[in-house]
Amino acid sequence: MTAPARPQRIGMFGGTFDPVHLGHLRSGVELCESLELDQLHMMPAPQPPLRDRPQVSAEQRLALLKAGIGDTPRLVADDRELRREGPSYSLLTLEALRSDYGIEARLIMALGQDAFLKLADWHQPERLFELAHIVVMARPGYSPKRSQALLELLAGREVNSVGELMAAPHGGVLPVTLPSPMGISATGIRRRLAKGGSVRYLLPEAVEREIEHQCLYRLPESGR
Ligand SMILES: Nc1ncnc2c1ncn2[C@@H]1O[C@H](COP(=O)(O)OP(=O)(O)OP(=O)(O)O)[C@@H](O)[C@H]1O
Ligand SMILES: O=C(O)c1ccc[n+]([C@@H]2O[C@H](COP(=O)([O-])O)[C@@H](O)[C@H]2O)c1
């Protein structure tokens, strides 16, 4: 008798990626390893719903993400949110992924701790669990304190292991501390670039070269 096929494990890791940095990319690699993902779709949000529209276009942020991913196995730069109008609601993205991969696939939405703390303010947050699991990555400097609304949203969903999470196609929440947490933020990188400072070793050299080539994130002389 042959063993039943293992359901696919597909990750979604969305972000403003303004710009993508090693905190995102290393987390992506470690998520693939620790959850044994088949693919991780990384996707820039053209209109992140809970913040101002970034100055750098979604196309440019996607180009930086592609440069950063390069040939990294299992990481995919996914442009599907760029092909939609309106706010970049994750619910719509998960619906599209679920339709691509089918009902048996284990669909996992990865979020850093800071994004996770705002989950109750997202568009139809309870419906996210009808489509995917959520994996929350610890991020240096962010407190684990949850609001009452978040606690109510998560009630009964939290699990303690990857095995427990993968027993069902969607509906669970797993907090993880990946092996190499990094205290890198895109805000810090934009500030450094605006002042003409160095960002070496905070993001891949290919991303740094692309930022220089396209003269992104620099303040005009008068603004420094
Ligand atoms: N260093 C990091 N480690 C783990 N997760 C991260 C890290 N940086 C960002 N993330 C997560 O990646 C996703 C996209 O983050 P985003 O593109 O907003 O980056 P950011 O560095 O937080 O940017 P900004 O400083 O502009 O807010 C979010 O879920 C966020 O929590
Ligand atoms: O669906 C929502 O309402 C929603 C609200 C806030 C953020 N998100 C998504 O969460 C991801 C991280 O967002 P951000 O602002 O932390 O970069 C990105 O893919 C956003 O589109 C989604």
Read off the pLDDT band of 3 (50, 70, 90): confident
Within-domain flag for 224? no
Within-domain flag for 120? yes
Task: Label residue 183 exposed, middle or buried (CB < 10 Å: 0-12, 13-18, 19+).
Answer: exposed
CA of 114 to the centre of ligand 1 (A): 8
pLDDT, position 2: 76
Tens digits of residue pLDDT in 24-45: 999 999 999 999 999 999 999 9
Is the pLDDT higher at 222 or at 216? 216
Contact 110, 11 (CB under 8 A): yes
Residue 185 sits at the vertex; the CA angle it makes with 179 and 188, to the nearest 5 degrees, is 140
Q: What is the mean pLDDT of residues 112-129?
A: 97
| 13: nearest Cα among 2, 1, 5, 37 | 37
The model's pTM is 0.96
pLDDT, position 219: 76
Within-domain flag for 192? no
> Is 175 near ligand 2, meaning CB less than 6 Å away?
no
Specify the CATH number for the domain of residue 157.
3.40.50.620
Ligand index nearest the alpha carbon of residue 94: 2
Residue nearest to atom 1 of ligand 1 (CA): 23
Q: What is the mean pLDDT of residues 4-17?
A: 95
CA of 45 to the centre of ligand 2 (A): 7
> Is 42 near ligand 2, meaning CB less than 6 Å away?
no
Q: Residue 79 above 50 pLDDT?
A: yes
> Is 122 near ligand 2, meaning CB less than 6 Å away?
yes
Q: What is the mean pLDDT of residues 212-224?
A: 77
Within-domain flag for 199? no
> Is 14 near ligand 2, meaning CB less than 6 Å away?
yes
Residue 153 sits in which domain range? 9-181
Within-domain flag for 28? yes
Tens digits of residue pLDDT in 53-76: 998 999 999 999 999 999 999 999
User: Would the ipTM clear 0.95, i.e. be above it?
Assistant: yes
Within-domain flag for 143? yes
Our count of domains for the chain comes to 1
Residue 27 CA, closest ligand 1 atom number: 4
Residue 45 CA, closest ligand 2 atom number: 21
Ligand index nearest the alpha carbon of residue 61: 1
> Is 37 near ligand 1, meaning CB less than 6 Å away?
no
> Is 48 near ligand 2, meaning CB less than 6 Å away?
yes
Within-domain flag for 107? yes
Within-domain flag for 212? no
- What are the C-alpha distances in Å from 22 to residues 53, 102, 183, 190, 206? 22, 31, 10, 14, 12
pLDDT, position 224: 45
> Is 191 near ligand 2, meaning CB less than 6 Å away?
no
pLDDT, position 4: 77
